[in-house]
Amino acid sequence: MHIAIIMDGNGRWAARRQLPRSAGHRAGAKSVNRIVEAAARRGVDTLSLYAFSAANWQRPPGEVSALFMLLRRYLVSQTQRCVEQSIRINIIGRRDRLSPTLLELIERSEAATAQGSRMLLRIAVDYSGQHSLIETCRRLPAGEAVDRARFAEVLAAVDHSAFACPEVDLLIRTGGEQRLSDFLLWECAYAELLFSERLWPDFDEPAFEQALQEFAGRDRRYGRLSGPATARLGSG
């Protein structure tokens, strides 16, 4: 099972408490720890988290710096914990605009956790689904016969993905907004979408469990008829 989460609402969480936005991002980082561990316990194969979009470069420089500081802190503090829990870390997205120090931390964390087999934790940093699709098309040789598997292979290389991951089963967005915001556009082709009113720092394990229960009750038909309808159709 592949779950993707758009972690939205840190700034509004802070504003409601008359705190700086950085306080909301720090609270959101604690939610990351909770949900990563909850997902691993529930047997999720792949968890993709939207940490920093390509559009987020437009935010104030101080906020951008704070977000990257939190990412560095996460890699430093959680890599060994992920090793112990057999969780593999993979940072997806562009790397040409990241600092050498951060790149070194990313490569170190990915190497240290490369043998993790319990769950793949993908953290999207400087990520844009549109950019990924355009770059994938640009890299495909002219005239090459391309099927879905080949396209996914090149897309994985563009995104620095550990491998061509399966498509997203469930996409959760917190914070009340109802849009994809340029996240995993190819992988979410048939994803079930769940929008939570909870702000990300308030999204805890019970909320995550509730999302899984709602997902379990959905009828995923992939363009086909549901079971009972198919039976009625076949009965004459």
Question: Does residue 33 carry a catalytic annotation?
Answer: no
- Catalytic option among 8, 126, 159, 169: 8
Q: How many angstroms separate the CA atoms of 40 and 88, rounded?
A: 11
Catalytic member of 56, 182, 202, 204: 56
| Vertex 55 angle, CA 178 and 15, to 5° | 65
- At 195 the three-state DSSP class reads strand
> In Å, how far from its chain's centre is CA 96?
20
Q: How far is CA 75 from the centre of its chain?
A: 16
Q: Tell me whether residue 182 is one of the annotated catalytic residues.
A: no
CA 164 to chain centre: 14
CA–CA separation, 108 and 18 (whole Å): 37
Cβ–Cβ < 8 Å for 110, 82: no
User: Distance (Å, rounded) from C-alpha 170 to C-alpha 216?
Assistant: 10
Q: Which residues are catalytic?
A: 8, 56
